[in-house]
Amino acid sequence: MSKIQSPKGVSEYFPPRSQNFEFVRNCMMIAAKNAGYSMMELPVFEDTELFVRGVGESTDVVSKEMYTFEDRGGRSITLRPEGTAGVMRSVIEHNLDKGQLPVKVWYSGPFFRAERPQAGRYRQFYQVGIEAIGADDPEIDAEVIAVAYRAFKAIGLTNFRLDLTSLGDADSRARHRVDLVAFIKTLALDDATLERAAINPLRLFDDKREEVRQMMSAAPLLIDYLNLASATHFEKVQSLLRAFDIPFTVNPRMVRGLDYYTGTTFEFVHEGLGAQSGIGGGGRYDGLMADLGGANLSGIGFGLGIDRVLLAAEAEGLLSDESPRDTLDVFLIAMDQSTKEAVALLANSLRNIGVSADMAYGDRALKGAMKAADKSGARFSVVIGEDEMSSGAVKLKNMDSGESVSITLSDLNAWKGVLLH
Ligand code: HAM
């Protein structure tokens, strides 16, 4: 029979590399929890309208990359291309915004964009994200950025930079938009581009075509239109980041791929990844909640790409495929078929008291079983044969030092004493 392959462009993780993926994801989750964010688990599919309204029709994400289908009830459903809109939907629906503010949540899981697959760009990819809703303080902008920075540092990354800008408040953007639209009118652009610009003229700063980039080099920059309130907020965010020892570059030409951004926006870029170098990004989205039918609350958050951070960590030589990170406490080997049941019972009892244990399966020779013990990365191994069964004493071998300790087979406390140290 022919083999079935994975759909084009998906990322998947299997042992041993999956342990590196888990390590990277855990570092991000721990950084989020460490700053008071609570877990949220949301559906991977939502009403299509949520993303059209939330993410914006001028974006590639909505106009070209959504996995949209009709469900059996004739509803238009979309696999989530990003996390923020779903969080807003849930916060509004479950009245979380009526409680203590800010609402601070983190999430992790798969996201879907029908992009052209390449290294670091997948159609199903993974993010850890955080959102802080209902706080206007510049301190929370700095907090969100610092959580991402701390996660990257915990992984050990060094070869990355932080780009930062401000898209200002509605007033600043409106004044800039007038001048930008007037400027765009002077350019010779095709209809499709003009259509995009009509929905969101800032998109043209993100155009990859060299001739458009050239034309846009003289365009008015939003950062020069910040009113006093927006400029003061942005100044404060920068001074906080300096005080936190987080290096950054102000990049007023940065354009995020989603339309909901306002005020502080940022991107973490890794220098060792080639074209798909964005390892995480985020910013404020002060009008989003109201646009989705909720209260007029501000918000800020980020999404970190687990796949790309893993590639970045590998590019920096921080992780190797070879070394499993989860170490078992003990690997058990039955010398003969006759002792196998006793070994299975022992493994079960050890797991019951919190010791992590695995055992050799199949009827391979002792040499093969010892190899399996080695590969398992277990800290200790033990061989149990007829002799051990009748004497009731076994030798627990430390796999690093090669030294053995004698232990009573039936004395679970003794096992615990050695193995849970
Ligand atoms: P985003 O910049 O679209 O933001 O995605 C965040 C991160 O997800 C990117 O920096 C990248 O590392 C990763 N990523 C995006 N697309 C792909 C892909 N096709 N393959 C692999 N990795 C990818 C958001 O999604 C916003 N929701 C972040 C946010 C939260 N802003 C405010 N709150």
Output the residue whose Cα is nearest ligand 1's atom 20: 121
Output the residue whose Cα is nearest ligand 1's atom 15: 305
Residue ranges of alpha helices (H) inside 35-83 are: 48-55, 60-63
- Residue indicated by tokens 């949301």: 42
Output the residue whose Cα is nearest ligand 1's atom 23: 305
Output the residue whose Cα is nearest ligand 1's atom 26: 303
Output the residue whose Cα is nearest ligand 1's atom 33: 301
Residues in the ligand 1 pocket, defined by CB under 6 Å: 82-84, 113, 115, 120-122, 125, 127, 129, 131, 257-258, 278-283, 285, 301-303, 305, 307-308
Output the residue whose Cα is nearest ligand 1's atom 3: 257
The DSSP letter of residue 79 is E
- Residue indicated by tokens 């960590």: 313
**Which segments of 17-65 are extended strands (E)?**
38-39, 45-47
Output the residue whose Cα is nearest ligand 1's atom 6: 303
388 CA to centre of ligand 1 in angstroms: 56
261 CA to centre of ligand 1 in angstroms: 13
| Structural element, H or E, at residue 182 | helix 170-185
Output the residue whose Cα is nearest ligand 1's atom 16: 121
| Site to substitute for ligand 1 among 258, 259, 297, most atoms within 8 A of C-beta | 258
pLDDT in tens, 94-133: 999 999 999 999 999 999 999 999 999 999 999 999 999 9
The answer to whether 332 touches 360, Cβ cutoff 8 Å, is yes
- Residue indicated by tokens 């559906």: 43
127 CA to centre of ligand 1 in angstroms: 7
Task: Note the pLDDT of residue 41.
Answer: 98
Which numbered atom of ligand 1 lies nearest the CA of 268? Answer: 10
Going along the chain from its start, the domains and CATH numbers come out as 17-169+227-315 (3.30.930.10), 330-419 (3.40.50.800)
123 CA to centre of ligand 1 in angstroms: 12
Which numbered atom of ligand 1 lies nearest the CA of 131? Answer: 33
Question: Do you know the residue count of the chain?
Answer: 421
The answer to whether 88 touches 294, Cβ cutoff 8 Å, is yes
| Structural element, H or E, at residue 172 | helix 170-185
Give Cα 281 distance to the centre of its chain. 10
Q: Which residue(s) pair with 39 in the sheet?
A: 106
Output the residue whose Cα is nearest ligand 1's atom 30: 302
Which numbered atom of ligand 1 lies nearest the CA of 115? Answer: 19
pLDDT in tens, 35-81: 999 999 999 999 999 999 999 988 899 999 999 999 999 999 999 99
399-408 CB contacts, 8 Å cutoff, 24+ apart: 399/373, 399/374
CA dihedral 398, 401, 407, 412 (to 10 degrees): -40
Residue from 150, 132, 135 nearest 29 by CA: 150
Task: Note the pLDDT of residue 206.
Answer: 87
189 CA to centre of ligand 1 in angstroms: 29
Low-confidence stretches of the chain (pLDDT < 70) are 321-326
Tokens read off for 83: 């996390």
Residue ranges of alpha helices (H) inside 227-380 are: 228-243, 288-291, 306-315, 340-352, 366-376
Tokens read off for 405: 């300790």
pLDDT in tens, 341-362: 999 999 999 999 999 999 999 9
Angle between helices 138-155 and 306-315 (to 10 degrees): 50
82 CA to centre of ligand 1 in angstroms: 7
Mean pLDDT, all residues of the chain: 95
CA distance 357 to 399: 14
Q: Between vectors from CA 149 to CA 147 and to CA 151, what angle results, nearest 5°?
A: 70
Tokens read off for 82: 């990003």
Task: Note the pLDDT of residue 57.
Answer: 87
Predicted TM-score (pTM) of this structure: 0.94
Q: Which residue(s) pair with 109 in the sheet?
A: 127
